[in-house]
Chains A and B, each alone.
Chain A
Amino acid sequence: MSLLELKGIRKVYHQGKIEVPALRGVDLTIEEGEFTTVFGPSGSGKTTLLNMIGCLDKPSSGVITFAGRELGQLSKKDLAMLRRYNVGFVFQSYNLIPVLTAYENVEFAVRLTTKGREKELRERVMAILAAVGLEGLEARKPNELSGGQKQRVAIARALVKEPKLVLADEPSANLDSQTSTEVLEVMVKMNQELGTTFIFSTHDPQVMDYAGRMIEIRDGQISEDKRREGQYVSD
C-alpha cells in the first residue's frame, strides 16, 4: 500500500518578479516500509521535495496524498497534526532545544503525541536513547554533547514517537562510521519491526548501502529511481 503519492508536483518560488522553479512536475509513489534515499546536486530540488513530503510546504500545482489524505485539502492545523503523529524529522543541524537536556529534547516529541503514564513515558524515552547509544548522557544539554551525540539525540527525537514516516537530512553527517552503523541499524530495526518508512537525503555511501530505493533529483525532476532488487526506473 502506498504511503505517499505525488502527482505532477510543481513548485515555483518568487524572488521579487523573478520566478524560480524548484520542482518541475514530479510524480512519485512511496510505499509503506520503504527505505529510500534521495540524492542529487545542491539546488536540484531535494529539500523542496522533502518539504512537500513532510507536509511542511504546499506545491504550486499538483496533488500530494499522504496515507490516503490529500494534503491540499488540509488546514494548517490538520497538517500540524499529521506531522505530529505521522512524521519524524532529523535535521542536519540537529535543531535541538539548547535549554533542554538530551532526555527532555526527546521527551518533547513524545509528549506531543502520548498521554501515557509518566513511568511508561520515561521508559520509552530511555529505551530510544539507549538504542542510539546515549545511555548515561540523558541529563546533558546540547552544548555538553559532541556533534555526533547531538545528531543521535535528533534521531532519537524523530524515532521515539514511532511515526509512519521519518525524513532525515544527512543523518550520518556528523557520526563516525561505527556510530553511523549503530544508528542505521536502529532505523533498519524500526523499519522491519514497525514498518516505518524512511526517506534520507544523503551522499553517504554507507547510508545508500542500506537503502532499498535510490532517487536522484536533477533540475527539479526525478532523473533516476532505482530499486536495490534490480528494478531500475529511469526518466
Chain B
Amino acid sequence: MKFLTKIAFKNLFRHKLRTFISIIAIAFAVMIVVFARGFIVGMIDSVFADQIQYYSGHIKIVDREYQQQERLLPLNYPVDGLAGQGLNEMMDSLKGIENVEMVIPRLKFGAMVSTGNELVAMSGWGVNPIQEFQFTNIEDQLVEGRMFQPGQREVVMGTGLLAKLNHQVGDKVTILSNTAFNSLKGVTFKIVGRLASGLKLLDEIVFYLPLDQAQSWLYMDDQSTELLLVTSNRGLVDQVLPEVKELLASRDAEERYLALGYQETSDLLPYMELAKLIYNQIYIFLVLLASIVVINTMIMIVKERTKEIGMMSALGLESKNILQLFIIEGGIIGIIGSLLGALLGSIINEYFAVTGIDFSSAMAGFSSELVFNSIIYPVSSTANTVFAFILGVIVVTIACMIPARRAAKLEPTEALREI
C-alpha cells in the first residue's frame, strides 16, 4: 500500500497541467461550498437573530386579541399582569421559571410626524434601555449620537426615518400618537442618536424611546403590548414554553394571553431550517460536478496507462491493488484540491464576516415589515471548513471509483497485447 501510494503520488507529476486543472476544479467547488455554506448559515443565523431580537424573543407573550390585530398596533389589548397584579409582578413570576434569563417588556404603538407637507407614519418602541441593550445589538447599530436615557424625553431613530423627517441628531421632534384612551396626543422629544442597522424596519419605520416615557405618554402605566422571554439558548424554548403556559393557566390567564415560541411567530423560520438541509444536498452535487473533471482526467489516464496496468497485472498486482492505485491517485487530487478550496473559502468568509455583503439596493423593494437584514455576514467556522474539506475528499474519491473500476477490470492480455 505504501509503495502504491508512492507510485500514485509520483503519477500526479506525469502531466502537471492536467493534475493542476483537476485540483483547481475541486478547489473551486470546495471554495464555493465553504463560502455558500458560510453565507447561508450567516443569513439564516441573521434571520433567526433578528426575528428573535426584534420581534419574538425566544418566547413572546401577547394578548390573544392583540395577536389578531398586531399589524394595527392596538393599545387596548395590553399585557398588564396576571389577575390584576400588574406588569412587574407578572415579569417577576415569569423570571422565576427555570432557564428564563430575561423578561423584556416592549410597548409598540403607531405614531406620526408632520413634516409640513406630509404626515410620516412611524412605529414607536418603548423599551427598557438596559434590558434592551443586553438582549439586542441595537447599541452597536448606533452610528451617531448616543442611546436614550430612562426618564428622559429622548428618542433614537433610523437613518432612513430621519431622512424622511428631514431631521438630524440634536433636533427636537414632535410626535403624535393615539393614546390608550383614543385621544391624539403630541409630545416633543430630542433626537439623541441615529441608527443604521441594515434592517429596513428599524432604519425606516421604528423610533426607540424609554419605556417609562411611552407608558406615560400613552396613559399605559405598568403596561406593555408584549413581553419577550429570553432563555440561555433558543434550544430551550421547547422545554420552557410548556412551563410558561402552565404558569398562565395557574393564574387563570391562559384564555387571555398567548405564549408563542419564536418558531411560531414567523412563517419564514421553518423554511430557513429546510433551506439548510436542501443546501447541504446542493453542495454534494456541486462537488460532484467538479468531480467530472477528475473523472474525465482519470478515464484519460486509464486509457493512456492501459499497457502499464497490464504490466502491473502481469507482475501479480491484484485487481483490488489496481483499484487502490487509481483511487489513491484521485484521492490525493481530492485532498489537495479540497484543502486548497477549504482554505480559500475560509479566507473569503473571514473577510466578508467582517465587512458583510450589502444587499440593500437589491432589497429596496422588500416590505419594511420583513425582519430581514440587508447586510449578510457569512459565518466563518472551523466546522464549515472541515465539512467542506471532508465532503470534497469523499465525493472526489467516490467519483474516482468509476475510472478505477474500469482499470481494475482490465484483463491482463487486453491491457498487454504482448509479452
Contacts and interface: CB of A to CB of B under 8 A. Distances in A.
Given A80-B316, A108-B3, A201-B419, 11 more contacts: A47-B418, A47-B419, A57-B411, A77-B319, A81-B316, A83-B314, A87-B316, A95-B311, A99-B11, A107-B3, A108-B315
Contacts of B308: 95, 97
Given A51-B413, A56-B412, A57-B413, A84 B418 contact: no
Contacts of A188: none
Interface residues of B, number: 25
B305 to A, nearest CB: 9
Contacts of B307: 93, 95
Interface in B318-354: 318-319
A207 to B, nearest CB: 16
Contacts of B411: 57
Contacts of A92: 418
Contact of A56 (B6, B318, B416): B416
B7 A99 contact: yes
A210 interface: no
Which one of A51, A56, A104 has the greatest number of beta carbons of chain B within 10 Å?
Answer: A56
Contacts of B315: 83-84, 89, 108-109, 112, 157
B317 interface: yes
B316 A83 contact: yes
Interface of A: 47, 50-51, 54, 56-57, 76-77, 80-85, 87, 89, 91-93, 95, 97-100, 104, 107-109, 111-113, 157, 167, 169, 201
Interface string B387-419: 000000000000000000000000111001111
Which 8 pairs show the lowest CB-CB distances between chains A and B?
A: A84-B316, A99-B10, A95-B311, A83-B316, A56-B412, A57-B413, A80-B318, A89-B314
Contacts of B318: 77, 80-81
Nearest to B307: A95
A142 to B, nearest CB: 11
A146 B370 CA distance: 76
Contacts of A167: 419
B311 A91 contact: yes
A56 B10 contact: no
Nearest to B2: A111
Contacts of A98: 14
A80 B309 CA distance: 13
A54 B317 contact: no
